[in-house]
Amino acid sequence: MNVTIDLPPWAVRENANLPATIESVEDRMRAVIRFSQLNVQHQTGGPFAAGVFEKESGKPVLIGVNRVMPLGISSAHAEIVTLMLAQAKVGSFDLGAEGLPEHQLVISAQPCAMCYGSIPWSGVRSIVIAASSQQVESIAGFDEGAVHPQWKEELGRRGIEVTENVLADEACKVLQAFVDSGQAVYNAKTVLKDR
């Protein structure tokens, strides 16, 4: 028994073509949102992407996308897919391990309850968010789950810096494009109904 978590071929190619470093946080987000947009366009998953970068240099480790529907795996959210693949690439379950540069997770939308929980375990030292959960829920209708009301402070207590509202409008355009494309919103009940 095993599962495979992979990126669609276009995303593998796009990763290979990323610049060696992406200096500003806005440009890192721009690259991530572009992946989310391509994921909608290619119909290879939900309208979300995430990237792991070396925080200081801006070297991209990996940008990944949501893969829930194509893989049939409810936990294959962009953050989980990206962290798994980045950890495999770096060769450590702890992206904050000694001897490694600090890592940053750049996400096209605020993490849901599951992804929020995965962040302290991953070892990233900072996260950058575009669209808010409220925007995700109101535009696309995904149920983001019950995130801790003090989620930001709780990450801060664990030494993880949070930056919100970076290119949120751009990320919202992708959410709207997903809705307009008529692709399924895969909250658990929707998936059950569709199968």
Residue 129 as a binder of Zn ion (CB under 5 A): the answer is no
Residue 77 as a binder of Zn ion (CB under 5 A): the answer is yes
Residue 136 as a binder of Zn ion (CB under 5 A): the answer is no
Residue 69 as a binder of Zn ion (CB under 5 A): the answer is no
Residue 56, Cα to own-chain centre: how many angstroms? 20
Closest distance to Zn ion from the beta carbon of 100 (Å):
24
Closest distance to Zn ion from the beta carbon of 186 (Å):
11
Q: Count of residues binding Zn ion (CB under 5 A)?
A: 4
Nearer to Zn ion (CB atom), residue 25 or residue 115: 115
Residue 67 as a binder of Zn ion (CB under 5 A): the answer is no
Task: Find the binding residues for Zn ion in span 95-124 (CB under 5 A).
Answer: 112, 114-115
Closest distance to Zn ion from the beta carbon of 99 (Å):
29
Closest distance to Zn ion from the beta carbon of 51 (Å):
15
The answer to whether residues 133 and 96 touch, using CB atoms and an 8 Å cutoff, is: no
Residue 81 as a binder of Zn ion (CB under 5 A): the answer is no
Residue 83 as a binder of Zn ion (CB under 5 A): the answer is no
| Three-class secondary structure of residue 82 per DSSP | helix
- CA distances, 102 to each of 25, 95, 153, 179, 184 (Å): 14, 7, 20, 36, 36
Number of CB atoms found within 10 A of residue 11's CB: 24
Nearer to Zn ion (CB atom), residue 114 or residue 179: 114
Rounded Cα distance between 108 and 66, Å, is 11
Stretch (H or E) spanning 114: helix 113-122
Two tokens, residue 166: 């970076």
The answer to whether residues 61 and 37 touch, using CB atoms and an 8 Å cutoff, is: no
Residue 127 as a binder of Zn ion (CB under 5 A): the answer is no
Two tokens, residue 23: 């200096």
Q: Which residues bind Zn ion (CB under 5 A)?
A: 77, 112, 114-115
